[in-house]
Amino acid sequence: MHISWTFLDKQKAAISALEAYTSMEYILRHSAEEENRIRVKMEGVGSPNLDGMPHAHNPQAAEDRMLNCIEEIDVIKERYRQAVEYMAWFKPAWNQLPEDERYVLEVFYMDDCEGAADRIADHFGIERKSAYNRKYRAIEHLSILLYGKY
């Protein structure tokens, strides 16, 4: 193990991984749609912009548009590759968590709602302080599953 792992704040890294989950899921679901949209834009013929202003003629406009679309597709494919890599790393640890800990982490970090501690407290019939304690224990457990023991 590299020495830098001892200086990594594994709990903050686990929280960042949790917060990235929904965006990675979105990328996996919508990359094909975005790529198809760009391919259609790339194959289409550009229409003149009739706004009354004179425009400079660019004989390479079609080639420029195609190159820009190819670059966009490359970016989408790279984001998709990273999302697949992320899921292969994150999902096994996530699936090893008990259902209660997953629920706590979803409410605190994946749901965009206020009053997460109150929701946890109501769900489990505990005090708010105990809800925060559950959150800290769940984060610690997830960080151990993702990064190993401290």
Q: What is the pLDDT along the chain (150 residues), one digit of tens a residue?
A: 566 656 778 889 899 999 999 999 999 999 999 999 998 887 766 666 677 776 767 778 778 888 999 999 999 999 999 999 999 999 999 999 999 999 999 999 988 778 889 999 999 999 999 999 999 999 999 999 998 875
Instruction: Look at residue 55 and tell me if it is in a domain.
Output: no
Instruction: Look at residue 64 and tell me if it is in a domain.
Output: yes
Q: Is 51 exposed, middle or buried (0-12, 13-18, 19+ CB in 10 A)?
A: exposed
Domain that holds residue 114: 8-46+60-147
Instruction: Look at residue 2 and tell me if it is in a domain.
Output: no
Instruction: Look at residue 52 and tell me if it is in a domain.
Output: no
pTM of the full structure? 0.78
Instruction: Look at residue 100 and tell me if it is in a domain.
Output: yes
Q: How many domains does the chain have?
A: 1
**Rounded to an integer, what is the distance from CA 69 to the centroid of its chain?**
23
Instruction: Look at residue 127 and tell me if it is in a domain.
Output: yes
For residue 148, give the amino acid letter: G
Instruction: Look at residue 27 and tell me if it is in a domain.
Output: yes
Instruction: Look at residue 118 and tell me if it is in a domain.
Output: yes
Say what angle helices 116-124 and 128-147 make with each other, to 10 degrees: 100
